Amino acid sequence: MALISFLILTSLWIAGREALSLSDCGAHARRPEYTDIAVVCGTSAIHLAIQICPAVYTGYNASLLILNRIVGNSECQGSLDETVTPPVVRFSFPIREGNACGSNFLTTSAPGTGTFSDFSNVQRVNVSGAVRSFDPTIGTITYNAELKYYYSCAYPLEYLLNNTQVDVSSASIALKDNNGSFISTLSMTLFQDENYTSPLIMPQEGIELQKKIYVEVVAANLTSQYFVLLDRCYASVSPHPTNSTFFNLFVSCSIAQLTTILENGESQKARFYFSAFRFIEQQNQTISTYYLHCITRLCQQSTCGTFKQCNSRRRRGNAETAVIRQSIDEPSLLTVRIKARSDDSAIQSKEEAQSGDGQSDAEGASVGLGIAVGVLFVIGVTAILAAASFYQKLKHLS
């Protein structure tokens, strides 16, 4: 133990970190409090800021605050920042198992609720640890209090990419970005080609029906240990699918007929495509407008295969049109609108033309029948008169 303490002290003093004195702290020199640590849970790294003056007041300096008992790793050591008031010691480390400066990773699972109520296994990862003081006192007793600064960041691994509005009629798409925890790293883009190189541009007249729409969900600037897995993607006539007609493109292993999944749960991107359609309830509208939503799971590389199994979670219903009656709590939205042209005016004109032709034919047939009956009547009357005249002549001769 003494040897370890000596090595720690030696490495700390060799680092030559600048130390503050009580006089440098001024009014900020006080006893430590629970609020002395600030934690920022980033998408690829966690950032800590600890007020140094209370530590100086207790008998420590920046070099004596150790992250998760790791010594000798410059990436895990704190740096003194005197540009802010009060001054702080900053720690920054990546969110990667095995390289997170000794942080603990705990992944938990629980049945889904609210938006995720169709899923029996929704995961959350908790990254935690502590910054502790190292007491350089050598001897039997010390008068320095031990300092402990705990941090914890909880990240849900299931997200709803929502309000992707799709305008179908000839071609179309509009895209909006959103932020929030890990979801800020996720984006959904629509493409017009199978190579996913040409983004789909939304024309005013909308996308042509049955045109293939290629969808890609990508996680950017995200720690590499997580892959993207789409649990469910569906379209609804409302931006917020509360009490709204919807159509499932796919839910787990239940896939609609004209939907094809190309890649899912194999990397930090997922791809699928479907044929543009329209909702029947919007048939009186020139353009059928609906919104594309994807419930997106971030899963560890080693566990993605488990979630891709059909029996790994329950689900209600299949790929059919229905009405959803559950609310969305605090949705983080990524918007893409799709418009589909409804060619009802042309269909109605054709039907009217066909109806008009049929009516003309019927009227012509009626007129022809009337003429034929008239001719037959005249012929019959003439025959009767001729017969009567011939009979009178025969009677007169006799």
Where residue 21 sits, what CATH number does that domain have? 2.60.40.3210
The model's pLDDT over 278-334, given as tens digits with 9 standing for 90+, comes to 888 887 788 888 899 998 988 888 888 888 776 444 444 443 444 433 322 333 334
Q: What is the pLDDT of residue 132?
A: 93
297 and 227, same domain (yes or no):
yes
Residues constituting the chain:
398
16 and 118, same domain (yes or no):
yes
Q: What is the pLDDT of residue 127?
A: 94
The model's pLDDT over 29-78, given as tens digits with 9 standing for 90+, comes to 999 998 999 999 999 999 999 999 999 998 899 999 999 999 988 899 99
Q: What is the pLDDT of residue 327?
A: 29
pTM of the model: 0.61
- Tell me, rounded to whole angstroms, the distance of Cα 3 from its chain centroid: 53
11 and 63, same domain (yes or no):
yes
180 and 228, same domain (yes or no):
yes
Q: What is the mean pLDDT of each run of 10 residues along the chain (398 residues)?
A: 47 52 88 92 94 92 93 92 94 89 93 84 92 87 85 91 68 41 85 92 84 92 88 87 82 90 93 91 83 89 81 42 35 54 48 43 49 59 62 54
205 and 124, same domain (yes or no):
no
165 and 51, same domain (yes or no):
no
Give the Cα separation of 280 and 67 in Å (integer): 60
Query: Cis bond leading into 86, ω under 30°?
Result: yes
166 and 149, same domain (yes or no):
no
Give the Cα separation of 56 and 287 in Å (integer): 68
* Torsion sign across C-alpha atoms 225, 227, 231, 234: positive
Which one of 109, 130, 155 terminates a domain? 155
Range of the domain at 340: 158-345
Instruction: Please report, as a single letter, which amino acid is at residue 306.
Output: T
8 and 129, same domain (yes or no):
yes
Residue 367 lies inside a defined structural domain of this protein: no
144 and 174, same domain (yes or no):
no
Residue 82 lies inside a defined structural domain of this protein: yes
